[in-house]
Every structure is written in structure tokens, then in C-alpha cells.
Structure 1
Amino acid sequence: MANIDDYQAKQDVTQSVPDEKVQTPAIPADVFLQAAENLCKWSLDGARALSAVAITDGSGHADLIQDLNDIAVLGRENPDPLTSIGFDLTQLDLAATRADELAICWPKQTATKPIPPTQKPFATRLTPT
């Protein structure tokens, strides 16, 4: 479809917008389009980098700990895209620190919980108390 055909196809829709809903752009259209294109490219680059590290959408505490560590490593290895969007790189240190803390704390916390009788080994359940 040619540009004029696109324009004519959308003309009824654009003409139906009430005047009070029409907004004057805050930035020039070319600046907006370039920014949108940059964001698209950065997000695609980021998606490729994330898939290369294989951060999954798993669940559970162990997965959270691993993901925090992976994000810290990925960010430290690729700081340029993060700084270009104004990301505070100290957050990567915080993610790594939290991963280390959770890796120590989580096993201790789960070790103190009593094991429900249904999850105890079969031989233990047969042993009289």
C-alpha cells in the first residue's frame, strides 16, 4: 500500500478524534521517532544478551539467587548499554551482594523447618518413636 493509501485509510479515524483530545507534541516528530528506534534497538540487544546468559523465568528461592547473580555478572560485562540509559551500576553490586547473602541465609532458614511426616523418608516413618 502506498503512503497516500495508508493516509486515506486512517483519515476517518484521525478525523473522529475530538479537538479536546488532540495534543500538541512536546518534541519534534523526528526526535521522537529516533528515540523510539533507539529504544527498540537497545531492547533487542539486551534481549540477545540476556538469552545468551540464559536467565530463565523459573521460580523459587534458588532460582532467584541465581538470577540476581547472573544479572550482576551480565551487567558488569556489558556496562555501556546500561550507562547509556542512565542505569546506576551500583545496583549490580547490590544484586550480587543480595545473591551472596541469600545463598547463605536461605539454606539455614530451610534447615530449621521441621520436615512434615509425609515427606520423611519411608524408613523413618516405620521406626517407632
Structure 2
Amino acid sequence: MAEIWALQDGLQLCLQIHTQSVIIELDAKAIVDAFNSQTYSNTIVSSIMDDCRHMATRIPQTSFRHIYKEANKCADFLAKLGTLIESDFIVLSSPPMDLSSILEADANGLYVNRLCPEPLFAV
């Protein structure tokens, strides 16, 4: 549920800044599969899923991809940071300093193999 709420917030931000193209990477494969399936139905989360689907259709190019948690280090870092913040919702104008090395590794094509905790160069 938390990932879907975060997705909804992210899509709202994308629409506010008039994003034309977005790749949505989630480590929750069931959510990715649900968005990529036209026949998915779940009465517990259907209203928020429908809301997210509608917002995604308003962005000209949108794709949903599954990504392993180990390859989603920036999101994992920010999620952990969020547990320390008392506010329900914040928008950061720039990345926190502690996130810089993770962003740099991502920009340089480094990733973490699920079986090996050390960063590897993507070939």
C-alpha cells in the first residue's frame, strides 16, 4: 500500500511539472504486473490504482518496470530517510549530501548484484 501511495504522490508531482516522459521503477513486482495488466482487479487498492492509472495516461510516455531492491538504492535511501522525518510529505529541492555517492554510482552505470553486496560495473 505504501508503494502505491508513494507512486500516486510521484505521479502528481510529474503532472505538476508537466513531465512528458517517465520510467517508473518499482521493486514491488506485483504492483508493476498490475499496472502492466489490463485485467488486474483488487477491490482493496482498486481506487488508488485507478487514480494512478489515470494520472499515468496523462503523461505522454509512461512505462512501469520491475527493478530489484538492490538496484534501487536511491529510492531505498530516501525511504529510510522518510522514516526519520516527522512531516507527512516533503519535496526536496536538491538531493541530501549522503545520497550524492549513490547518485554518482547510478550515473556511472554501477549496480549491486543481488548475490554480491559490492558495486559492480555494468557491462
TM-score, normalising length from structure 2? 0.22
Bigger relative CO (Cα 8 Å, ≥ 6 apart)? 2
TM-score, normalising length from structure 1? 0.22
Q: Which has the higher helix share?
A: 1
Larger Rg: 1
